[in-house]
Amino acid sequence: MRLENKVALITGGSSGIGLETALLFAKEGAKVVVVDINDAGGQQAVARIKAEGGQAAYYHADVSKAADCKQMVAFAEKTFGKLNVLFNNAGIMHNDDGDAVSTEEAIWDLTMNINVKGVFFGCKYGIPAIQRAGGGSIINTASFVAHLGAATPQIAYTASKGAVLSMTRELAIIHARENIRVNALCPGPLRTDLLMKFLNTEEKKQRRLVHIPMGRFGEAKEMASATLFLASDESSYMTGTEFLVDGGITAAYVTPE
């Protein structure tokens, strides 16, 4: 078991990458705190973990609120005694997020509050808990768009993921001597509800697919496997990295066949 005796907190744990990671972490021996605003989905995730013999608990938190993030970390410590792994995964990609001209300020603020402040608050309250546990691993979900401009405009999302990536680097350096590793998971385009709702026409899907050398969208399970590596001691000499799991999209420009 790669996460035996570890306690992991996963935000956005009711669906997509978060859900698949919660299920995988539990199978690998971790006690998992699933955090979301989708209570039904979060409780279903916990029920699935328990049905498979794992240990998990659900906590309702809006990661854009400092008080909620403080309380979710306190809940993890109270429920399972410590916190070793923090996966700041919760995020949004709003359908009305477009280019700089068309995107409303409210969409920009909402995206930044969840995608950037959510990671900041997770770290603000999670790092002291990980320090109390003697160290651990923090994984922040960034994106390949922190490296490339997106073919379909999503200015607030792209800017937010760039912020997550740069925040990850600084946190990694600050806490490198404290046995705390901080890395960014940078997924490529995935077949998740988050992206498929945004790429809501076949034309939009093909515009994204044509740039992926592997010729397909990634799967949430593939991101969970990458996250497991970053959470486990197998990545013990990795910190401040941009762990790209992107089907090759950032390595090459691909023209239509």
Q: Known catalytic residues?
A: 157
Neighbouring residues of 47: CB distance < 8 A, sequence distance ≥ 6: none
List the alpha helices (DSSP H) in 28-87.
39-51, 66-80
Rounded Cα distance between 24 and 34, Å, is 12
Residue indicated by tokens 């990545």: 235
Contact 216, 210 (CB under 8 A): no
Neighbouring residues of 35: CB distance < 8 A, sequence distance ≥ 6: 9, 10, 11, 12, 13, 42, 58, 59, 60, 61, 63, 72, 90
**Which H or E run includes 11?**
strand 7-11
Contact 71, 129 (CB under 8 A): no
Helix (H, G, I), strand (E, B) or coil at 32: strand
Rounded Cα distance between 204 and 198, Å, is 9
Neighbouring residues of 237: CB distance < 8 A, sequence distance ≥ 6: none
CB atoms < 10 A from the CB of 4, how many?
9
